[in-house]
Structure 1
Amino acid sequence: MNLHTIHTKTPLGVARIISSSSAICEISVLDDDSVIKNSEEIPQVLHDCVLQLQEYFEGKRIQFELPLAPQGTDFQQKVWKELLKIHFGKTCSYLELSKKLGDVKAIRAVAAANGKNPLWIVVPCHRVIGSDGSLTGYAGGLWRKKWLLDHENPVKQQSLF
């Protein structure tokens, strides 16, 4: 599979987006923007992703409409599909997520799969919090998780829509 890469600046750092010709495979945030190198050929799906991320950060988008092709185990795929069901402005605990997946004892496996989510923001792993409401475990850093949850705060968003 031939992969393409584009980078775009966000309020939280530079996002690196990788796609095939037809679907987004990975979105990550970089702490160091000195390694930015875009592919020579940029498929439309990458342009669409950049636009939708910009709209999200501008408060104009609450749902992404992109073809996704994340790589992971069957269990990880199952967790990531469940993450897509967590609506903008809402949160879910790791325990609630493991219950929705049918195995309350799988909480650690669910948390591990959540941490391996390759589609930053689009698959909203930032919306998963501790049972006590604490901001736990976020690969991009807890300060980014807090920023994203504040950005999606329903009270704040009422003025935008």
Structure 2
Amino acid sequence: MKNNIEINYKKKKNIFEKKYVITWHCGVIGLPLKNINKISIGICEYSDGVAFIATFDPNKNTFDQDILKVMCIHDIYVTKNSCEEGKYCINLSCPLNKADPLNFKEYGEISKEEFLEIHNTLEKIKDEYNLSIEKIHYVVNYDKPIVMFRKNKKREIKKKL
């Protein structure tokens, strides 16, 4: 039995070509909601794009929240045509993305177009504020959000300039 485990491990090890870092910018975006008041974004070294989001609810226990994503997803393995986290990545423009926006219902009922619009907004924030990949520190904490969203009359979230 031990030999089978070693062989499977070696086969899996040979499949993986490269490990890429995910840098989390925790609490970078503020929201005016009672149940979610901060968003963290995970930037992927492979695509140099926003690949993951995590929300913070001040009314929940720390370990009942998306903060576990930040603790668990700190790198990804990529082969020529797949990514181990491709099903969960929000970067729909990445060639290795295999996610379906319907899988993200926890963030509300949104269409693929709305999902792309949200991702594009996060990409603009990443670029405007030079949020980058950090090779040494996988988590960058913000005491206060550097961007605040506000609600408009249509109940959409808009960036406050």
With the length of structure 2 as denominator, give the TM-score of the two structures: 0.27
Structure with more relative contact order (C-alpha pairs < 8 Å, separation 6 or more) = 2
Larger gyration radius, structure 1 or structure 2: 2
More helix by share: 1
